[in-house]
Amino acid sequence: MLKHSSLKPISEQEAKGEIDRVYHEIMQTMRVTGVNLNFRTWASWENFLPLMWDAMRPIVGTLAFEQAGDEVRKRTVSEVRALPTVSAFHSAGLGESQAFQVHAALRLYHYINPKLLVFTSAVRLALMGHAVSHALEPSEPIVLGPPDGMFPMEMVEEGEEEKRIKAIFEDIASTLSLATINSDYRTLALWPEYLDQAWRALKPITQTVEYNSAADRIRELARDFAQRLPAPAGLTSAAVKDTGENVDQILKTTSNFERILPPLILNIAILTGECETDYSRLVSPFPAELRKPLFSGGGR
């Protein structure tokens, strides 16, 4: 059975006021078509999310942050080379359009998850009061907004799952010790046969020492990058406490996300291996462009 978390993530549809504002900015600044479970869960502390986001936003919309995500993705791809491959597309009997869409969904998460991990690590470090070490150079702003051609973050809604999807979700949750099913699995559940085959292939891999060591290394790399990003101004445990929110609970949840994201990143990279070359998996599916200055100067 799914271990139901006491926290109720706030969906995009339910978001109001400040949460609605932050969700919009998340999609623009993270360059993504939907709001991942991390943010929806953080939103259940309604004073925390805006405080945290306003501190993180200037860091996120920069080339340095984007490149940190790129490096985590690259490391992940090199880690999965040593892990078994899977063959879920064929065994799921996907049609041409279905295969295209599954691939597009995998590209979405292959892009966003590494960024999400760096983000989560940065939030955790800030709440723990870690000082910035060997900070990266001040970074240039990138063009914001979800890239053209990125798949929508469409997913099977909670409570709307078919029986067989529910069973797969329960198996995923108990195997990976998840309290809530991540957006990725909910998206892949749009093609139940694919999710079924993919999870059957992934499950034994997730039980191996090699896989878990790889997840640890990815987590460490993300922490390293997070530590070198500029410190998010104003995001401290004292500031969060001042808003009346429970810092310990937030930190615990944030640490948990930092724990579960590396396996998720690995899983998506493994699945992506079936439809992409090693090289195309290494590079960002949606490379960021630098934002051009509004006025280039030199005019009279």
Partner 1 sequence: MNWRAFQAIQKVTELGPRFLSYVDEGEGDPVILMHGIPTWGFLFRDLIESLTAKRRVLAPDLLGFGFSDKRDCFDRSIGRQTEALIAWMDKLRLDRADIVGHDIGGGIALRLAALHPARVGRLCVMNGVSYDAWPIELMLQFGHPENRRKMSAGEASTMLKRALKSGFAVAPEDEFLDGLLAPYGTETGKTSLIRNAAALNTNLTTEITHLLPQISAPTLILWGQEDSFQLAKFGKRLASDIPGAKFVPIEKAKHFVMIDQHEIVARELQAFLYI
The one among 33, 91, 243, 255 contacting partner 1 by CB under 8 A: 33
204 binds partner 1 (CB under 8 A): no
Residue 230, Cβ density class (10 Å: 0-12 exposed, 13-18 middle, ≥19 buried): middle
The one among 3, 87, 157, 242 contacting partner 1 by CB under 8 A: 157
Q: Residue 100 CB, nearest distance to partner 1 (Å)?
A: 4
Residue 166, Cβ density class (10 Å: 0-12 exposed, 13-18 middle, ≥19 buried): middle
- Choices 62-70, 146-154, 177-185, 265-273 (CB under 8 A): range interacting with partner 1: 146-154
Per-residue string for binding with partner 1, 77-116, x by CB under 8 A?
A: ----------------xxxxxx-xx--x------------
Pick the closer one to partner 1 by CB: 33 or 78. 33
> Quick one: tokens of 121?
């690590």
> Quick one: tokens of 132?
């910035």
The one among 151, 169, 185, 257 contacting partner 1 by CB under 8 A: 151
> Could you tell me which of 117, 257, 266 has the C-alpha nearest to residue 182?
257
Q: Residue 177 CB, nearest distance to partner 1 (Å)?
A: 27
210 binds partner 1 (CB under 8 A): no
Measured between alpha carbons, how far is residue 168 from residues 6, 63, 180, 291 in Å?
A: 22, 38, 13, 43
Q: Residue 32 CB, nearest distance to partner 1 (Å)?
A: 12
Q: Residue 111 in contact with residue 265, Cβ under 8 Å? A: no
Per-residue string for binding with partner 1, 160-189, x by CB under 8 A?
A: x-----------------------------
d(CA 158, CA 81): 34
- Choices 74-82, 155-163, 232-240, 250-258 (CB under 8 A): range interacting with partner 1: 155-163
Q: Residue 77 CB, nearest distance to partner 1 (Å)?
A: 25
The one among 114, 146, 263, 285 contacting partner 1 by CB under 8 A: 146
Per-residue string for binding with partner 1, 126-145, x by CB under 8 A?
A: --------------------
d(CA 98, CA 94): 6
Q: Residue 117 CB, nearest distance to partner 1 (Å)?
A: 24
225 binds partner 1 (CB under 8 A): no
19 binds partner 1 (CB under 8 A): no
- Beta-carbon contacts of 89 under 8 Å, excluding residues fewer than 6 positions away, are 99, 102, 194, 274, 275
d(CA 209, CA 197): 22
Which residues are at the interface with partner 1 (CB under 8 A)? 11-13, 16, 33-34, 93-98, 100-101, 104, 146, 148-157, 159-160, 190
